[in-house]
Structure 1
Amino acid sequence: MKTYSFAEIQRLLGPAQNILICLPKSITLDQAAAGLSLFLSLGKAGKNVNIVSAEPMTVGFSHLVGLDKVADKISGVNLVLTIDAPIENIDKISTQDDGKRLSLVIAPKTGMPPVSREQIIFNQGGTGTDLVITVGARRLEGLGKIYLENQGIFQGKPIINIDNNSQNSNFGRLNIIDPDASSCSEMVASLICGMGFPADEDIGSNLLLGLKEETRNFQIEKVSADTFETAAFCLRVGGRREAVLKPEESVKEVKKVEEKKPSQPPSDWLEPKIYKGSTLP
């Protein structure tokens, strides 16, 4: 299996506790499998990991473990209260603490209307993200609304950019770009193995599914010895082979060939025959 910049990866991953994994829009099964495998592995390593994608996962991805953990937006850890009123109408905002509950008091200026409940908007903010990892995104805009609605996160945090596309724009602080790799699943498997991250049957199964899908069952030209070593790694950690899907009976009709029954011989066929001279030619 391939060797990437493991020392640099460790330098960024080591101190990071809150990690955000971002998947691209128009996502492929391989990219989803790779991202989820990394999500599961880092979680087992004791990291607090979230995984997001701008678009919902399709039914075709249903065999992937952890699919229900993929969110369609970045959730923050802080509650943010926004007052939808002109700031010049507000005199002051103070707090009251009775020992059990904390209250916010919004006082309007003299002669100004009080702030109504309808003018208070609640949001989550402050993700606490230490590190962003993108899987399969050629550029940040390829993350769709995940990037467009949270540009501050991507501009202020280190990014590890993982991709096997030669057209990648190298937007990360650390860019792990390998156009020779058959798939993102192959790359992530090399990272998990090389970094000594946890791997189990769920992770192996996800990677194996992504690998087989992207390589068309190991038939494309980019398949190499590293690809087969990746498959072997997945099987060694307990990865399950994809179930063989049986075709529906309605897809292909099987026609029964009627056997021809031999015609019945005459009733006197088995009786002894007596030939007389008159019967001979």
Structure 2
Amino acid sequence: MRTSARARPAGAPSRFDDADLSAAAALLEDASSVVILAHVNPDADALGSALALGLALSRNGCTVQVAFAEPAEIPESLAGLAGAELVVPADDVDPTPGLLVTVDVNSRARLGRLGALVDTTPRTLVVDHHASNTRFGSDHVVDVTAESTTVLIAALLDRMGLPIDTDIAENLYAGLATDTVGFRHSTGAGHRLAGRLLDVGVSPDELMRPITDTHPEGWLGMLAAVLGRAEVVTASTGTRVVWTWITTEDAAGLRSEELDSVIDIVRTTKGTQVAAVFKQAGPAHWQVSLRSLPGTDVSAVATVLGGGGHVRAAGYSCDGTIGQARERLLAALSG
């Protein structure tokens, strides 16, 4: 049997913009059908936000679909999140929902082919915490001070007076824990929300182990190859960068989750300010993950290179040889 946190009174004060929260709550309360979109290759914050909101709305009588353009299925590490029954294939999404909601999506491009829904839906509510958000859509709850998009979803549910039960709490916690790197980058408010979610019944070890702490044996061989070729280089500004790359051969048989974990190992290199991992996505196409220490804004760097993200965690895509890709990054860091 689910347990629930007592809902805060509708309209209760929040640390986020009251007008934006109230307007978004009114949109959601008036909608009879909602499509909630996460970005391509959703992480725990994107999918956790979508499922938490979807569960709350569906239990309040709303027809809900949750979707993302790719991959075709929920990533294996996130398959245990409650609410997976709300997820529909991209091809089956209602083309004309009463309301479109995007979560953890900084730009229309991050919706992939489902971005066309922005044109066919009368209102699009964008809920996000990225500094690089382009303000697409008609309505916004965008706050860069939020530790995760799930924090904003929790605030929205409180504004609507909807209860947070264990299923919803697990989705909220997954996004908050991952986006704060295990609460290392959380404010006191983020910790207090986590405590509230624990009180509802979240078991952090049981919830987070498959998301962040479980990898197949093949992961070890990939790590050995990729870490073995890691290098430290210095940009013209003096910024020291540790970088490496993952080829399609390295990645054979592995999930995207395994590849995404490499940056969190590389970034621990002492004496460097920026970490970069280039993941081969085609013969001459790379997806790049960036991390930084305080004082270096990799979101600004990624934006220059056509991507975006957070001050200390960002990404972008580029074409060319691995040498050319590296030089473009160093040039952007030097600019």
Which TM-score applies when normalising by structure 2? Answer: 0.53
Partner of 1:206: 171
Q: How many residues end up aligned between the 2 structures?
A: 196
Q: Structure 2 unaligned runs (5+)?
A: 1-13, 220-335
| Aligned 1:23-34 pairs, distance under 5 A | 23-34=38-49
Q: Residues 236 and 194 from structure 1, CA distance in 2 versus in 1: closer, same or farther, beyond 3 angstroms?
A: farther
Structure 2: distance between partners of 1:190 and 1:247: 31
Partner of 2:107: 139
Q: Residues 6 and 25 from structure 1, CA distance in 2 versus in 1: closer, same or farther, beyond 3 angstroms?
A: same
Superposed displacement of residue 127, structure 1: 4.4
Partner of 1:160: 125
- 2:28 matched to 1:63? no
Structure 1: distance between partners of 2:85 and 2:25: 28
| Aligned 1:82-93 pairs, distance under 5 A | none
Partner of 1:190: 155
**2:55 is matched by which residue type in structure 1?**
L
**1:236 is matched by which residue type in structure 2?**
D
**3-state secondary structure, aligned to 1:50:** strand
8 Å CA contact 2:36, 2:66 repeated in 1: yes
Runs (4+) off by over 4 Å: 244-248
- 2:2 matched to 1:2? no
2:142 to 177, 182, 187: 177
- 2:93 matched to 1:130? no
- Cα deviations by residue, 1:15-69 (Å, 9 ceiling, x for unpaired): 2101110111132111111111011011111111111111132111123112243
1:12 to 13, 27, 30: 27
Partner of 2:263: none
**3-state secondary structure, aligned to 1:171:** coil
8 Å CA contact 2:38, 2:104 repeated in 1: yes
Partner of 1:279: none
8 Å CA contact 2:54, 2:86 repeated in 1: no
Superposed displacement of residue 138, structure 1: 1.2
**3-state secondary structure, aligned to 1:33:** helix
Structure 2: distance between partners of 1:195 and 1:236: 21
Which TM-score applies when normalising by structure 1? Answer: 0.63
Q: Residues 186 and 10 from structure 1, CA distance in 2 versus in 1: closer, same or farther, beyond 3 angstroms?
A: closer
Structure 1: distance between partners of 2:101 and 2:77: 24
Structure 2: distance between partners of 1:247 and 1:163: 28
Q: Residues 71 and 247 from structure 1, CA distance in 2 versus in 1: closer, same or farther, beyond 3 angstroms?
A: closer
8 Å CA contact 1:23, 1:53 repeated in 2: yes
**3-state secondary structure, aligned to 1:132:** strand
Superposed displacement of residue 190, structure 1: 1.6
1:241 to 198, 204, 212: 204
8 Å CA contact 2:38, 2:67 repeated in 1: yes
Superposed displacement of residue 132, structure 1: 0.6
8 Å CA contact 1:3, 1:194 repeated in 2: no
- Cα deviations by residue, 1:233-270 (Å, 9 ceiling, x for unpaired): 2123333323285999x99xxxxxxxxxxxxxxxxxxx
**1:146 is matched by which residue type in structure 2?**
L
- Cα deviations by residue, 1:102-148 (Å, 9 ceiling, x for unpaired): xxxxxxxxxxxxxxxxxxxxxxxx74511110001111121011124
**1:233 is matched by which residue type in structure 2?**
R
Partner of 2:315: none
Structure 2: distance between partners of 1:247 and 1:13: 36
Q: Residues 74 and 13 from structure 1, CA distance in 2 versus in 1: closer, same or farther, beyond 3 angstroms?
A: farther
Q: Structure 1 unaligned runs (5+)?
A: 77-125, 252-281
Bigger Rg over Cα: 1
- Cα deviations by residue, 1:189-245 (Å, 9 ceiling, x for unpaired): 12112321232101011111221111111112xx11220122122123333323285
1:227 to 151, 165, 190: 190
Q: Residues 20 and 54 from structure 1, CA distance in 2 versus in 1: closer, same or farther, beyond 3 angstroms?
A: same
Structure 2: distance between partners of 1:63 and 1:239: 13
Superposed displacement of residue 8, structure 1: 0.9
8 Å CA contact 2:82, 2:167 repeated in 1: yes
Q: Residues 132 and 247 from structure 1, CA distance in 2 versus in 1: closer, same or farther, beyond 3 angstroms?
A: closer
Partner of 2:53: 38
Q: Residues 58 and 173 from structure 1, CA distance in 2 versus in 1: closer, same or farther, beyond 3 angstroms?
A: same
8 Å CA contact 2:39, 2:103 repeated in 1: yes
Structure having greater relative contact order (Cα 8 Å, sep ≥ 6): 1
Partner of 1:218: 183
